[in-house]
Amino acid sequence: MGTIFRSEEMSLCQLFLQSEAAYACVSELGELGLMQFKDLNHGVNAFQRKFVNEVRRCEEMERKLRYIEKEIKKEKLKIPDYGENPKAPAPKEMVDLEATYEKIEGELREVNTNAEALKRNFLELTELREVLLKTQNFFSAHRHEMENMVHDAQQALHQDEVGLTPQQSVQLGFLAGCIRREKLPAFERMLWFACRGNVFLRYEEIQQPMEDPVTGDPVFKSVFIIFFQGEQLKSRVKKICEGFKAALYPCPDSPQEREEMLKGVSTRLEDLKMVLNQTQDHRHRVLVGAQKEIRTWIIKVEKIKAIYHTLNMFNFDVSHNSLIAEGWCPVRALEDVQMALKQGEKTSGSTIPTIIHPMRTRETPPTYFRTNKFTKGFQNIVDAYGIASYQEVNPAPYAIITFPFLFAVMFGDAGHGFIMFLFGLWMIISEKKLLAQKSDNEIWNTFFGGRYIITLMGLFSTYTGVIYNDAFSKSFNIFGSAWHPHYPESLLEVPDIELTLDPAKFFRNNTPYPLGIDPIWQLSDNKITFLNSFKMKTAVILGISQMLFGIILGIFNHIHFRNVLNILVEFIPEVIFLLSLFGYLVSLVYYKWVTFDVSKAGCAPALLIQYINMFMFSYKAKGDPNCNPQLPFYAGQQTIQTILLVAAVACVPVLLFIKPFVLRAQHNAKLRMRGRLAAHSTDALIPNEVLGETSAGNGVPRKPNADSKVDGEGDIELGPSTSQAEDSVPASVSQKDISVNSEGATASLAHDDKFEDDFEFGEIFIHQVIHTIEFCLGCISHTASYLRLWALSLAHAQLSEVLWQMVFSLGLGMDIPWFGSVIIFVLWMFWANLTIAVLLVMEGLSAFLHTLRLHWVEFQSKFYVGDGYSFNPFSFKFVLDIESLEDIK
């Protein structure tokens, strides 16, 4: 719980890795996933880094695996996921992996090329067979028509052409082929216009689809026969066929030749079928063998690539043949990191230990919370607003309770809440099975990721539904009723009469109802008036309580960061301001509930009028002195309210002025102290031993000197020279003021001077003015904003009641034997579907968004800054989550 209440303490560490052990050590750190490395080569081009060739080799292996994966999916084979997590292969194993992938890829490409050529040949022979068959059928069926057509052509030719002899005959030629079915109408029109109607076209569809040799998609084609006269038309027809990509096939003129050619084509087709089947079987065997290993191969390649990409972020020390890395690590995980480094040394066989050196820095560390599958959803809600600042109080553990509870206040219905609870419980129980499916549906993944949130929201909604005594717009009558209304029977017989509950007349019990709201209110016409008063006051109480809790959480930040000034001039005035105005309002609500019973309820003072009079300093009640809403609640009310109002107003200048001027005074005092130190001491600078020397002039921190020690865990123990240097630091400079930047250089007083010179009184004053205005006006607007708890609760209850009365209750009121059950079932289906779609989904999302706003704006704004950045360690977890190389962008 401690790590989720406040982010973990982080440490900036420097690693000295020997070149031969660097790969194995980074691999172990990737498996551990608790080290976030910094890019020490951010100014270096990606193509000039040390391990760019290895990264390119990994990308080439990715390309080959992507091709193999695509072929496996084309074969409609499913890639199994056995949950394997292989270690990253050693660098020397990359050659074997490359050879394996190269062999499989080459074999698949060769098989695919041969199969494509065979399929193209098979397609051509199939089309030729269809052309021969349909041409033979056409000539057999239309032989007499062809003779008549030739005779008519001869007669026309003898009449038009003068130079021909009577013995000259007309010779008709024809071309046969195949064309795509969708191109046939345009093809026919083009032949007609281009040949001026002097060609004769006949076509017939091929019933079975052809297979495209490249894509494998089905293609529908038609066989056509074109009759023409003369070489000029023949040339023109061929060009048109070529333009429409129609395949022309040789077709003999005589039936005997066509028959013999058809037999030869059929024989060749049978042989091709056998060869194609054998090729397909061989391809299937290769893919099945790759199918079992493809996921393991993908994980190995991605791990290798991630390791080399990380190594490219390190500095290379040529003189010591080592790599120098910097990164953030949780302090609690330092031992685990050291154990991982030792395991990497053992794996690589290195004899030189890896050194891990904690560094001091002024850089803001990343924010890291240890979460589990239950708390992760609530942490994601908080992080969506903004990542918590380092070591800032985390709102997530409190949102575990407050978030579903405020949702339930708006969604209070025991029936709807129980359905939501069952849905969330089903997702939790079926968690492993649903995770194994790895759905890519974004909406479903969002609901599944929030399964624990949905379960709690449903459970809390069931509770508030019991308190409201509301389930599908109906009430439970478990304990009877504490009301005893007595209306005359003559009044009850009047149609559409409004029956209201008057507590002065009908309430006979002086004790509260055992659980929730009395069920008799469901039948009363003044139900909304009563529930409005109850839910509105409850919303104000809950809202002010949560805002006060947010302000109280702020003191934990002030104490942790040792900011006494914020406690005195921010926390205390804010609490006084909130309690004096709005805490007093809550006390009046409870006072009215406790003091005024049924007999006095009609003459009780009005809260709103009393609260307005508090700001107007108006305490003179006009009218009936015994029953007047402007009468004070208690004796001495004017004095107490005046003191509270003056105290609240007095807090505003405290919030506005004190902090900026105190900070300016502290800044001036530091400047005077620095001037005195500079005047009385010339040794105020930090000695060179603390600054640290650099090696080879490249800005890399030097290796430990002879007086330094390396302990068994790989940490540096500084020798006597460093201790003496620390003793020489002036007393006015604390150890915190010594920091090491990313290049290994250190700074002390000069660093303080820089920060003090950046002090801007105007900027700080404007920031404080904005903070004061936001808080004071926010207390008012945020209190009003919590009234959405009442408004959405009322809307949900009324919508549920309207849906019941307008749909389902219509069937219950019908007195139709036998057939009435069918009507009731149909109406129940409509009611159930509308309940799920409108009340559960739409109303649930609406209440969820309003709850989100109440936490982000009204609650978290009281103490939460949220300007940090998340801890993103180097981890192989992402590699295990990917299903395919297509997921990698």
What is each CA distance from 514 to 75, 165, 477, 482, in whole angstroms?
A: 67, 122, 11, 10
pLDDT reported for residue 497: 67
What pLDDT is recorded for position 70?
92
Q: How confident is the model at residue 734 (pLDDT cuts 50, 70, 90)?
A: very low
pLDDT exceeds cutoff 90 at 416: yes
Q: What is the pLDDT of residues 95-139, one digit of tens each?
A: 999 999 999 999 999 999 999 899 899 888 988 888 888 888 888
Residues 468, 794 contacting (CB under 8 angstroms): no
pLDDT digits (tens, 9 = 90+) for 345-374: 998 888 888 889 899 888 999 999 999 999
Q: Which of 159-173, 222-236, 394-408, 819-833 has the lowest mean pLDDT?
A: 159-173
Note the pLDDT of residue 473: 87
pLDDT at 298 over 80: yes
Compute the distance between CA of residue 116 and CA of residue 95 in angstroms, rounded to an integer.
31
pLDDT given for residue 737 in this prediction: 38
Cβ atoms within 10 Å, residue 313: 21
* Least confident window among 6-20, 154-168, 561-575: 154-168
Whether the pLDDT of residue 715 is over 50: the answer is no
In which residue are the tokens 């209070």 written? 412
- If DSSP codes are grouped into helix, strand and coil, which group holds residue 664? helix
**d(Cα 326, Cα 13) in Å, to the nearest integer?**
6
The answer to whether residue 161 scores a pLDDT higher than 60 is no
299, 885 in Cβ contact below 8 A? no
Q: Residue 76: is its pLDDT beyond 70? A: yes
Residue 483 DSSP class = B
At residue 150, the pLDDT reads 54
Average pLDDT over residues 41-48: 86
pTM (two decimals): 0.78
Q: 585 is written with which tokens?
A: 């309002």
pLDDT number for residue 750: 39
Are 18 and 322 a contacting pair, CB within 8 Å? yes
What is the rounded distance in angstroms from the CA atom of residue 821 to the CA atom of residue 808? 12
Residues in the chain: 889
Residue whose structure tokens are 């469901």: 522
- Token pair of 750 as six digits: 């000069």
How sure is the predictor about 686, in pLDDT bands with cuts at 50, 70 and 90?
very low
pLDDT computed for residue 884 by the predictor: 67
Rg (CA), the chain: 43
Q: What pLDDT was estimated at residue 494?
A: 66
The tally of CA atoms less than 13 A away on the side-chain side of residue 148 is: 4
In this predicted structure, the answer to whether residue 1 has a pLDDT above a threshold of 50 is no
Lowest mean pLDDT among 308-312, 565-569, 645-649, 669-673: 669-673
What is the per-residue pLDDT for 740? 33
pLDDT at 146: 58
Spatial CA neighbour of 507 closest among 602, 590, 591: 602
Beta-strand relationship, 200-205 and 746-747: unpaired
pLDDT (0 to 100) of residue 752: 44
Give the residue-averaged pLDDT of 755-770: 81
Find the helix packing angle between 375-385 and 396-410, rounded to 10°.
Answer: 90
Residue 159 has pLDDT above 70, yes or no: no
Q: Is the pLDDT of residue 385 over 80?
A: yes
Where is average pLDDT lowest: 107-111, 221-225, 263-267, 674-678? Answer: 674-678
Query: Is a pLDDT exceeding 70 seen at residue 498?
Result: no
Q: Tokens 């172990």 belong to which residue?
A: 28
pLDDT at 620: 75
Residue 863: name the closest of 551, 571, 577, 567 by CA: 551
Q: Taking residues 405-410, what's their average pLDDT? A: 96
The answer to whether 767 and 723 have CB atoms below 8 angstroms apart is no
pLDDT at 496: 64
Instruction: Kindly state the helix (H) or strand (E) to which residue 458 belongs, with its residue range.
Output: helix 451-468
Residue 160 pLDDT grade (very low, low, confident, very high; cuts 50, 70, 90): low
Kindly report, residue by residue over 79-91, the tens digit of the pLDDT: 887 778 889 999 8
Q: Cα–Cα distance between 57 and 694 in angstroms, integer?
A: 34
Q: What is the arithmetic mean of pLDDT over 814-825? A: 78
Mean pLDDT of 807-833: 81
What element of type H or E holds 323? strand 322-330
**Residue 344 pLDDT:** 92
Provide the mean pLDDT of the chain: 83
Q: Please tell me the distance from the alpha carbon of residue 817 to that of residue 324, in angstroms, as a whole number.
A: 87
Predicted local distance difference test score (pLDDT) of residue 167: 44
Which 8-state DSSP code applies to residue 683? -
Q: What is the model's pLDDT at position 625?
A: 65
Q: Is residue 272 within 8 Å of residue 125, measured between CB atoms?
A: yes
